[in-house]
Amino acid sequence: MTQRNKTYFISDLHLGAKYLTNPLDYERKVVRWLNSIKDSAKSIYLLGDILDYWYEYRNVVPRGFTRFLGTLATLADEGIEIRWYIGNHDIWIFDYLPQEIGMTVVDGYEIKEIDGHRFFLSHGDGIGSLKPGFKFIRSIFRNRVCQKLFSGIHPRWTVPFAHSWSSHSRNFCNEKPQFLGEDKEPFISFARQWLDNHPNEHIDYFVFGHRHILLDFDLHKDSHVIVLGDWIHHFSYAVYDGKTLSLDSYKE
């Protein structure tokens, strides 16, 4: 049996998005990728926007994602660690998925040591200088009172509204985000500032999602900024073998 000694990182699947041509086939492809790594994975890090929309009501499970969530549960049952860092599309994960699947949910960033290397892990939507409008919306979405009020609206209204918001906020199918340049990429600027402000806390890998670009940028002091791409254009992920981290794309 293959030794499980690799850690996988993936983000921005946007499962269930209405702009996907065939959401079910798309979900099946993600499941095939999960099954392809199950014999080598000791941990899987989901770095946000895994679902295009999710809201956990007290007694209602949102429609969809059956194959994906079932596969995660199977992997967790087999002893694979699963950590889900919520993004700006899958904010409203509360206790159902952690309890049913057996995974850990992280809101914000986390610094973890994995096989002797230090990782700074975050979806990235709260990193750097945020536009006032986005900062305001983000604060509303994370406000407990607003969440309670939202939960009182019938899902027949909230679900179509959320998908419409997602489809119009950014047209991923027609717009492929591009690298802005070393001086303008927010995650590069953030990583440099973080290292300057924490000279005694070295980070080997800053790993983000959110930007939908593929990036492996070599910083000073042997640190890298990794942006995981997405599964709209790239079908990409990162794999860490205990020595190095590399970006790859799923090819069938």
Average pLDDT, stretch 241-245?
95
Q: In this structure, which amino acid lies at residue 161?
A: F
184-195: b (≥16 Cβ within 10 Å) or e: ebbbbbbbbebb
pLDDT at 25 > cutoff 90: yes
Biggest distance spanned by C-alpha atoms of the chain: 52
CB-based contact 50:209 (threshold 8 Å): no
Average pLDDT, stretch 15-37?
93
- The confidence score (pLDDT) of residue 32 equals 98
User: In this predicted model, what pLDDT tens digit does every residue of 136-166 receive, in sequence order?
Assistant: 666 666 667 766 766 666 777 666 656 665 5
- The confidence score (pLDDT) of residue 21 equals 86
- pLDDT class of 98 with cuts at 50, 70, 90: very high
CB-based contact 11:50 (threshold 8 Å): yes
User: In this predicted model, what pLDDT tens digit does every residue of 185-217 receive, in sequence order?
Assistant: 999 999 999 999 999 999 999 999 999 999 999
Alpha-carbon dihedral sign for residues 4, 230, 224, 217? positive
pLDDT at 70 > cutoff 80: yes
For the chain, helix, strand, coil in percent to 5 are 30, 25, 45
- The confidence score (pLDDT) of residue 92 equals 82
All structural domains of the chain: 6-249 (3.60.21.10)
- The confidence score (pLDDT) of residue 230 equals 96
